[in-house]
Amino acid sequence: MNQRAKLAAILWLAGAVGVVSTLWIDLTPLLDRLAEAEGAELPPMTIGLRLLSLIQPLVLLTGAVLAGVFLAERVGLRSPWAEALATGGDQWTALKPQLGPGLVGGLLGGAAIVAVSAAWLPLLPSEFTDAADSLSLPAATRFLYGGVTEEILMRWGLMTLLVWVAHRVAARKAATPPAAAYVFAIVISALLFGAGHLGLAALLAPELTASIIGYIVIANALFALVAGYLYWRFGLEAAIIAHMMAHVVLMASSAVVG
């Protein structure tokens, strides 16, 4: 197996573990709310249906991994630890420079989400906040899917692709993408990351009001801007560490408030 294939396998397996971790989410409160809203009993969520629900994220993960593997090096983006693992290099040397920025970025990103949530809470419908409180995500899912899988999807896959497209369209004569290409990719991928959470929000609320949409997109996009910058300047693992750290902040905040 060549180094590129090894890198793809490492990242895909890491992301797939996160996808599988979603099986531990208790969907009962959400299904009960949907049944109440529909006025009819929903079919039980069997293990077969849960397994089928993994197909779409695994397909998206595969596309993101391949996009990054084939394009990241071309636009100066990296996954230093995974690359070291794939090539037999020094993994600690690859990871060490990303630890500090990742931890600091996670603290700042998590604090930003907490601040936005506190400021936005009076504007949100009680039905939405009650439903969100009832849907508890396991720590494993927060760290493995949120921290690892989402970063592979949004940074390694989508952001890398956007940088490559921006470079090809706007500055294809330049040997390397200009800073504007990275800024463009960070902003667009951050907004799409925020918008990607609207599907779950729609299941938690009778209707998606402007306040809910604004809250979901802005809160998540704020962190994604931090993660995108870390990926650009330090590497994919810095963004993963930051995402995990942000969840630590959010869990600590919930414990204090609760």
Q: Domain span at residue 186?
A: 3-257
231 Cβ neighbours under 8 A, 6+ residues apart: 77, 151, 155, 156, 159, 238, 239
**Residues 185/77, Cβ–Cβ less than 8 Å:** no
Average pLDDT over residues 221-236: 98
| Three-state secondary-structure class, residue 1 | coil
pLDDT given at position 108: 96
- Local structure of 207: helix, strand or coil: coil
Q: What is the mean pLDDT of residues 185-210?
A: 91
pLDDT at 42 over 70: no
* List of residues 6+ apart from 15 with CB closer than 8 A: 61, 64, 65, 148, 149, 152, 153
Q: In the prediction, which pLDDT does 173 show? A: 73
Structure tokens at 238: 């810095």
Average pLDDT over residues 30-40: 60
Reported confidence tier of residue 33, pLDDT bands at 50, 70, 90: low
Which residues, other chains included, contact 204 with Cβ-Cβ below 8 Å and sequence gap of 6+? 30, 33, 128, 131, 132, 135
The pLDDT assigned to 91 comes to 97
Cβ contact 153:61 at 8 Å: yes
Please tell me the total count of domains within the chain. Answer: 1
> E strand or H helix at 157, and its extent?
none
Task: Give every CB contact of residue 220 below 8 A, 6+ residues apart in sequence.
Answer: 113, 193, 194, 196, 197
Instruction: Answer whether residue 40 shows pLDDT above 70.
Output: no
pLDDT digits 0-9 by tens, 238-247 = 999 999 999 9
Give the pLDDT confidence score for residue 175 in this predicted structure: 79
CB atoms within 10 A of CB 47: 8
Collapse the DSSP code of 68 into the 3-class scheme (helix H, G, I; strand E, B; otherwise coil) and give the result: helix
